Structure 1
């Protein structure tokens, strides 16, 4: 499992074998079954997850029972409730496994320890956080500026394999439209 993690780090930084072995010692591997919740609204969040295999969704359900998907997390993605993790607030959304999932996780304390000890690791997480923030800004702008068809096409171009892994109702919940709207678009 740590091979995928090494590739993830090497997108931004170079680690010696010894450095990577040390970093990897902070991570723990686990598996979750399909439909398992790894974070549930109200939970105390003390872990950050790296997806080795599988697919998860981050979502909330409104007072009318409508599901709103904030994020899908597939292989080589990081996922957590970052607000809860970093502010010690309770989780504000759920993270559910849509498939059998294999993940690596570590605690915020371990992440901070690694970042304090290894500037390379701090650089990696700074660059990943910046990249994530930029992608979030792009997602918000797409939701604001583009119509449903444009959002659908852009998502398909960016993540074509996602469409074989989740039903259209989840794509609709991610795009902020109803399943019926997607059907009317003749997609």
Structure 2
């Protein structure tokens, strides 16, 4: 299970076996079933999660009960409510399992500890954060400047494997369109 994490780290930094064993000692394994919550709105958020297996969605529910999906996460991706994680406060998002999942969880305290002790791990997380900022900016600009068809085409280009794994209703929510509109776009 930790081999996936090592491969993930080594896309950015190189690690000795002993360094990697030390890093792993700060993670814990969590397994959940489809439809269980990894994070629930209002809960304290203590962990960031690296996905080993499965698929999740992070979403906000408005006062009228409408879901707006902020993010999906599949194998080799990270997910949490980052605002709550970094401020050690209550979640404003829900993170729900679309499939059965296995994740490695890392507390903020452990993250800070290994980053302080190992400069290359701090470098890794800085690079991952930068990539996350870029993805978020791309998503916001897409929502602001692209029509529904363009947003759908961008999603297909960026995440072809997700198209096969996600129900259309979830893709529609992520793109900010109705399921009917998505059906027209994808046919």
TM range (shorter): over 0.9
Contact 2:152 2:185 in 1 (8 A): no
Per the TM alignment, residue 184 of structure 1 is displaced from its structure 2 partner at its CA by 3.3
- 1:116-154: CA deviation from partner (whole Å, max 9, x where unpaired): 000000000000001101110001011111110111011
Could you list the structure 1 runs, at least 4 aligned residues long, displaced by more than 6 angstroms after superposition: none
Q: For structure 2, list consecutive stretches of 5 or more residues without a partner in the other structure.
A: none
Give the TM-score taking structure 2 as reference length: 0.97
Aligned match of 2:45: 45
Q: Distance in 2 between matches of 1:94 and 1:115?
A: 27
Query: How much is the aligned-residue C-alpha RMSD, in angstroms?
Result: 0.9
Q: For structure 1, list consecutive stretches of 5 or more residues without a partner in the other structure.
A: none
Contact 2:68 2:173 in 1 (8 A): yes
Provide closer, same or farther for how the CA distance between residues 155 and 89 of structure 1 changes in structure 2, counting only shifts above 3 A.
same
Give the TM-score taking structure 1 as reference length: 0.97
Aligned match of 1:112: 112
Aligned match of 1:168: 168
Per the TM alignment, residue 88 of structure 1 is displaced from its structure 2 partner at its CA by 2.2
Q: Distance in 2 between matches of 1:158 and 1:88?
A: 31
**Aligned-partner SS, 1:60:** strand
Aligned match of 2:159: 159
Aligned match of 1:146: 146
Number of corresponding residues? 187
- 1:52-96: CA deviation from partner (whole Å, max 9, x where unpaired): 000000001112221100000000001111100111221001000
